[in-house]
Structure 1
Amino acid sequence: MTKQSIGPRTLLYPHPVLIIGTYGTDGRPDAMVAAWGGICSSRPPAVAVSVQKARQTYENLIERREFTISIPSVDYVKEADYFGIASGRDADKFAATGLTPVKGDRVNAPYVGEFPVALECRLLETVEIGVHTQFIGEILDVKVDESVLGEDGKPDIGKIRPFAYDSMRQEYYEFGGMLAKAFSAGKELKR
């Protein structure tokens, strides 16, 4: 197969849609959408998100050193997008969207009450990378709405209904159903 070069881009499929929750220096809850992030360690459980220095969330993260990551369902695509196009310096994003900031139990940071999954994180490390700073947080707790748990008690992605961001087209996409069992589908190729 012939591939065409499109040059260096922020291209990765899929980009998760993550909502970073922090409190500002005035104590007001704030949230921003981030697509540059993901799990970066299993022990300790940790997640990394990259934020530009110009963002209010950057200042909040540096000051407070605690944050949450809420994972929205497709039902909240408009609200999640708003968190990315409005600034916490100019707007109360929770009031504008009608969503509920809930103070974390393990960290001094708000998560979005209506979103089905929330991670509570304490800042472990920062890494400067070009115009972004990567914030690496230890996951101290994960909260999951009971309504999105499967019969086995584990989160069910089909019930969570997260969505992804396409950075090239600047569009959001939802997922289809299960494709195959991980750590099993490739066994027939193992020799």
Structure 2
Amino acid sequence: MVEKIPAFDRNGLLPMGDYDVSLFDLRGSVLCCGPDDRQAYPNWDSAWRVWLVEQLAIMAQQLWQVGVESIFVDGSFVEDKDHPNDIDGYFVCDRDEFVSGRLVAALNRLDPQKVWTWDHSLRRAYPGYPKKQLPMWHVYRVELYPHFSGLGSGIRDARGNELEFPAAFRQCRRDGKPKGIIRLLKATGS
């Protein structure tokens, strides 16, 4: 197990902080391999978690190819959930590239499924899930959202204020407890 990512805290969360790791390191971390105490996690689904990282790798490579450097990974994937539904995250991009549509067009030129969109009208239901999912989720089981200063996430704090992704993704959605986040590092062999 790679020590760049620490064990889960007593709340079952990645401890507070930003953890810079490559995809290679992520595959060998506690997030994929599971906690040391296997008796406490008899149903830990390492194969599923590694598969999710492989799907994330496809999308990260596309983002890196169009010049996006900062990609952050979060959601239940950074919690002690045996079988997270997916990987959530965000990436930092240029506002003008996003608003103009150039970023989405460039990403969809790279992706054979053309999944790069955040258009709510394109969300589709998935059996057993209460909310409709984006096309990228249906193909990769990963949802990565664009972020630039001033763009809200749709996630609200305890006072009802909308948070931007950097703040929203550094807290547990169910109870607001602070948690860590993964920043993917571009590396050869990823």
The question of a shared fold, defined as TM-score above 0.5 by the shorter chain, is answered with: no
Q: TM-score, normalising length from structure 1?
A: 0.29
Larger Rg: 1
Higher relative contact order (CA 8 A, sep 6+): 2
Q: TM-score, normalising length from structure 2?
A: 0.29
Q: Structure 1 or 2: larger helix share?
A: 2
Q: Structure 1 or 2: larger strand share?
A: 1
